[in-house]
Amino acid sequence: MATEVLMPQMGESIAEGTITRWLVKVGDRVDRDQPLFEISTDKVDAEIPSPESGVLLEVRSDEGDTVAVNEVVALIGAEGESPAGPPAEEHLPAEPAAAGDAEAAAREEEAPTAPAAVAGSGSSAVSEEAERVRTASSPVVRKIAAEHGIDLKEVSGTGIHGRVTKRDILAFVEGAAGDRAAAAVPSTTEIVAPAPQRPLPTGFYVPPYVEGERVEIEPMSRIRQITAAHMTYSKATSAHVTTVFHMDLSKVWAQRNRAKDGFLRAHGTKLTFMPFIFKAVATALKAHRKLNAAIDGTDVVYKKDINIGMAVALDWGLLVPVIRNADSLNLVGLARAANDLADRARAKKLSPDELKGGTFTITNPGVFGSLFGMPIINQPQVAILGLGAIEKRPVVTTDKDGNDSIVIKPMSYFAITYDHRLVDGADADHFMNHVKRTLVEESWSELDAF
């Protein structure tokens, strides 16, 4: 008997997933736990393994389809086995009426409509229609429709069996916004000067290309859409301010270079610069709680746990897995946690829970050669630290007698972007000075054994 492959539940808040790529074709043999297809959700991209060994008999959802959790997307069985029947009872076509019922059905169609006072039949029709809409869309789709006042009966579904997918409803919303903008344009050619300082209309839109222009158009990936929405929301929510510090990493550089080979042999993981920075930041967050907080209306929510998000750049987008309770970990624990999360992010093995709950984020564009950047705050946090490239640079130093000299030191620009609704410049500077002192003064004695 064929085994059903279901769209998995990837987290408590996940109601659906989009199939981005099938990794095998119908007729291919697969092993148990072999990656079968890739999905993208509101939280994470992941490879979904095969529940059984066998042959992929049937694929019921194509690439690009958004499917509700626990819905059957494929069948796996023995070679030569026929696929099972229709995927679900609600998708069965109506059975043809028996010959004896045909005339009754015709008479029923010709009969006058029952008056509105007959509540029983009206309620039944309404219930049936509501159930049709419910079964033809996911909770996420229905939520978006409710937020924009859209009747799902007006939306054409492109999913399996006419299901209205998230892509369908978002396209409908965008189209409705465009229609409203077009309707707002006066039909007359007369130009009327606007009142001074009139705000832009909500439907303001600049076309991304003009007719006849040579372009190539492809849909955004799910993770790209989510990133775009999140970043736009953050810029509209927080009052972003950035300050930059020039950090001396001489001691960190020396300790890492001395201990990295022995560290790898002893612990089976690489010692990069990041664990040192995580440690310095976690220590500073304990002393400066404003930077480890969130804003809820007119209330400030101070987080008691220090959970550091680390941005990981991937070929298909950006993920921010979280190192939980970072202040309780030593360099070994931080190195293991960071390397494990980064490796599994690249392999699409993270769970949604590993991408939430962060209280402060660190991003490292310096690994690509950037001197520094001004990152956007990862909501609902109030600060994010951007790391620049670590390079040897000439620096002026002063000895105890007041004599200046130029020396070569490994230096890096650290840029912190903070939400000025809560964090003042002095708060951010005190925090950064704490990080700076730790990097310069910490002995890192736990590396003495290497």
Residue 27, both tokens:
């007729």
**Set 33, 424, 429, 448: catalytic member:** 424
How many CB atoms sit inside 10 A of residue 155's CB?
21
d(CA 389, CA 437): 19
The answer to whether the peptide bond before residue 380 is cis (omega within 30 degrees of 0) is: yes
Residue 296, both tokens:
């809820």
Residue 10, both tokens:
């990837």
d(CA 439, CA 251): 7
d(CA 379, CA 358): 9
424 catalytic, yes or no?
yes
d(CA 122, CA 225): 41
How many CB atoms sit inside 10 A of residue 420's CB?
15
Among all chains, which residue has been given the structure tokens 């750049």?
A: 313
Reference 278, options 337, 318, 320; nearest CA is 337
**Set 161, 240, 420, 430: catalytic member:** 420
The answer to whether the peptide bond before residue 86 is cis (omega within 30 degrees of 0) is: no
Reference 391, options 411, 406, 408; nearest CA is 411
Q: In the beta sheet, which residues pair with residue 407?
A: 395
- Where b means 16+ CB within 10 Å and e means fewer, 27-37 reads eeebeeeebbb
d(CA 18, CA 5): 15
Q: Which residues touch 195 (CB under 8 Å, ≥6 apart)?
A: none
Q: In the beta sheet, which residues pair with residue 213?
A: none
Sheet with 29-30, side-by-side order of all strands: 3-6, 72-77, 54-59, 29-30
Helix 250-267 vs helix 425-441: crossing angle, to nearest 10: 60
Q: What is the dihedral of CA 328, 354, 311, 231, to 10 degrees?
A: -120
Q: Which residues are catalytic?
A: 420, 424
